[in-house]
Amino acid sequence: MAVCEVCFRHCDIPEGGLGFCGARTCRDGAVTAANYGRVTALALDPIEKKPLARFFPGSMILSVGSYGCNLRCLFCQNHEISWSKEAFRFAETADAVTPEELAGAADRYRDRGNIGLAFTYNEPLIGWEFVRDTARLVHERGMKNVMVTNGTAELSVLEELLPYVDAMNIDLKGFTEHFYGEIAGGSFGMTKRFIARAAQSCHVELTTLIIPGENDSEDAMREETAWIAGLTDAAGKTVGPEIPLHISRFFPRFHMTDRPATDVGLVYRLADIARERLRHVYTGNC
C-alpha cells in the first residue's frame, strides 16, 4: 500500500491496484504511472485546436494521449479516450512507446510544420513522469512542449514539468466550489493554485466551457475574469490581463444530455464581459 501524491484525492493504492484515475498503481510499495508510454491517440493538429491562440499561431503540433483521468466531469467529451473500459483494454494490450520514440516522431514531422509535442486528450498530469521524460528529449531537439490539462495536481508535480513545458491550455471549468465538486468532481482551490503558479513560468491560456444553468451567469464570468486579471509573474508583475481566455459553447454530452447546447448569443455576451478585464478573449464551438 502507498499513497499517491499527484492530486487532491491522495489515493491509498494497494500493491498491484489502481488509484481513482485508473492510471497510477503501486509497485514494490511505491506509486508509479501504470500508463507510462501507453498511447491511445496520436495526431498532427493545428496548434489552435488545443486551443492555443497566441502560441506559434499557424503551426502544427504532434498531439499524444494516453488513458486515465482524475476528474469525472458530467459533461466529459473525451471519456472514450481517457477513462472508458475500451481505452483501458486498448492500453493494456498496446506496446509501450518510449520517450525516445515519441520525441523522434515529433522531429520527423518538422517538414509538415510541426513545432513539437502536445500532451492532451486524457489528463497528462496523472502520467507526469512520461511527460517529463519525453518533454526533456523534445527540448533537446530544439522543439516545443505543450500540455492541455485540467490543472488538478499538486505544485510539486508542476515543478517537475515547468522546466520542459513551454505552453499550457488549462481548463478553468467554473468559478465556484459547487461546480468543481458536484459537476466536475475536482478541486477548485488546487486548480487555482496550479494556474497561478503556471502563469509565472510559461505561456498559459485558459478555457471555460459554458454550460446552461451551471456556470453561465454574468456575475460568475465577472468573478472569474477579475481573478485571472490579478495573476502575476514570478517577479510580482501583473500579467493576468494578457492571459488568453477561450469561452466555449457546450453541446449535450455524456451524462449531461438533459439540456440544450449553449445559446450562441450568451457565449458572445459573456465574451464581451470577459473583455472588460482581459485583452485576449476567444469564443469556441460557435
Rounded-to-integer distance, Cα 63 and Cα 42, Å: 6
Residue 42 has pLDDT above 90, yes or no: yes
For position 278, what pLDDT does the model report? 98
Q: Write the pLDDT tens digit of every residue in 105-150.
A: 999 999 999 999 999 999 999 999 999 999 999 999 999 999 999 9
- pLDDT-derived band at 191 (thresholds 50, 70, 90) equals very high
- Over residues 233-258, the mean pLDDT reads 95
Q: Give the other-Cβ count within 10 Å of 39's Cβ.
A: 20
Q: Range with the lowest mean pLDDT among 45-54, 78-87, 156-165?
A: 78-87
For position 146, what pLDDT does the model report? 98
- Over residues 54-59, the mean pLDDT reads 98
- pLDDT-derived band at 40 (thresholds 50, 70, 90) equals confident
CATH number, domain 2-284, options 3.10.20.30, 3.40.50.2300, 3.20.20.70, 3.90.1150.10:
3.20.20.70
- pLDDT-derived band at 101 (thresholds 50, 70, 90) equals very high
% the chain with pLDDT above 90: 91
Contact 170, 135 (CB under 8 A): no
**Secondary structure element (H or E) that encloses residue 209, with its range:** strand 203-210
3-class SS string, 61-100: EEEEECCCCCCCCCCCCCHHHHCCHHHHHHHHHCCCCCHH
- Read off the pTM: 0.96
For position 156, what pLDDT does the model report? 98
Residue 283 has pLDDT above 90, yes or no: yes
For position 244, what pLDDT does the model report? 98
Reading phi first (left if > 0) and then psi (alpha if -120 to 50, else beta), residue 121 is in left
Helix (H, G, I), strand (E, B) or coil at 207: strand
Instruction: At 23, list the grid cell.
Output: 492510471
